[in-house]
């Protein structure tokens, strides 16, 4: 594996922090089996700003396995490196993205993937590369419950998937419903600090809240809070609330609430 090595601890720390400004992973919290999008802004990297070849991902687990697509020059084995090819964001000369599932991309068990190392490079190292960027990977173990979200922590600009585990709902008619619907509202605060409750979804999204049957008795629906809610001017979203029910709402769960991460 070829990548920039920092042998002095302070320099290693500086390199990661400096580079973290140009490499991001969405969602911020993820496991090895979650789909993630890596975005790299190469602004300020002269070689990559003038890159005329494709850009490729070099992905590895520090102290562990690397992806089978880690081949350089990339063109020397196009079959292996095809999955590692970045897509340039339309209208953005210096912005690249790639979407993948870490365990599948690397070909390793989730237990082996506790951290990811990320580099964007040209066809060959001489065509330019970013510095190492390291990201922690959440463990797979979690205690399932009636409701949960992915990611666990989120801001209004994140795509949030809400899950309902019907098998864990209170015993009764709710466990027998074959079609599950969700009612979702938001809470916010206005510029004076006054709470604004029961902010509804916009009409075009509220009509599509039948949840998707994932597997067994698990259902899901996804929202983009910053876009989906009818947020009054001057109001900042602070939480979402939701319940699960049959189509007419006569059989329902309690209402669950998740707060947004506080943005500084």
Domain boundaries, the chain: 9-136, 147-259
Contacts by residues 230-234 (CB-CB < 8 Å, ≥ 24 positions apart): 230/199, 230/200, 230/201, 230/202, 231/186, 231/188, 231/199, 232/188, 232/190, 232/196, 232/199, 234/190, 234/191
User: Using H for helix, E for strand and C for coil, what is the string for 53-71?
Assistant: CCCEEEEECCCCCECCCCC
**79 CB contacts (<8 Å, ≥6 apart)?**
none
Q: Which CATH number fits domain 9-136: 3.40.30.10, 2.60.40.1930, 1.20.140.10, 2.70.98.90?
A: 2.60.40.1930
What does the pLDDT look like over 23-35, one tens digit per residue? 999 998 898 889 9
**Beta partners for residue 92, in sequence order:** none
CATH, range 147-259: 2.60.40
pTM of model > 0.85 = no
Phi, psi angles (nearest 5°) of residue 106: -85, -30
Q: Are 178 and 258 in contact (CB under 8 A)?
A: no
What does the pLDDT look like over 91-130, one tens digit per residue? 888 999 999 999 999 998 888 899 999 999 999 999 999 9
Topology agreement, domain 9-136 and domain 147-259: yes
Residues comprising the chain, all counted: 264
DSSP state at residue 18: H
What does the pLDDT look like over 194-231, one tens digit per residue? 999 999 999 988 876 899 998 889 899 999 999 999 99
């Amino acid at each position: 594996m070829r990548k920039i090595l920092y042998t002095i601890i302070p320099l290693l720390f500086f390199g990661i922090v400096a580079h973290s400004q140009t490499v991001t992973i969405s969602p911020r919290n993820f496991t090895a089996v979650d789909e993630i999008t890596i975005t790299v802004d190469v602004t300020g990297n002269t070689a990559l700003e003038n890159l005329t070849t494709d850009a490729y991902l070099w992905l590895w687990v520090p102290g562990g396995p690397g992806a089978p697509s880690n081949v350089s020059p990339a063109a020397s084995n196009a079959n292996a490196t095809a999955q590692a090819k970045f897509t340039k964001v339309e209208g953005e000369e210096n912005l690249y993205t790639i979407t993948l599932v870490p365990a599948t991309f690397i070909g390793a068990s989730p237990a082996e993937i506790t951290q990811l190392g990320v580099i964007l490079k040209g066809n060959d190292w001489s065509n330019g590369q970013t510095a190492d960027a390291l990201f922690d990977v959440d463990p797979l173990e979690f205690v399932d419950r009636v409701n949960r979200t992915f990611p666990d922590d989120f801001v209004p600009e994140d795509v949030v998937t809400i899950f309902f585990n019907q098998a864990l709902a209170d015993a009764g008619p709710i466990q027998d419903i074959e079609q599950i619907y969700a009612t979702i509202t938001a809470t916010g605060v206005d510029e004076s600090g006054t709470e604004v409750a029961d902010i509804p979804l916009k009409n075009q999204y509220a009509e599509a809240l039948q949840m998707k049957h994932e597997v067994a008795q698990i259902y899901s629906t996804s929202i983009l809070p910053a876009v989906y809610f009818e947020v009054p001017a001057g109001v900042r979203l602070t939480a979402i609330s939701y319940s699960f029910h049959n189509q007419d709402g006569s059989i329902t769960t309690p209402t669950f609430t998740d707060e947004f991460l506080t943005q500084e």
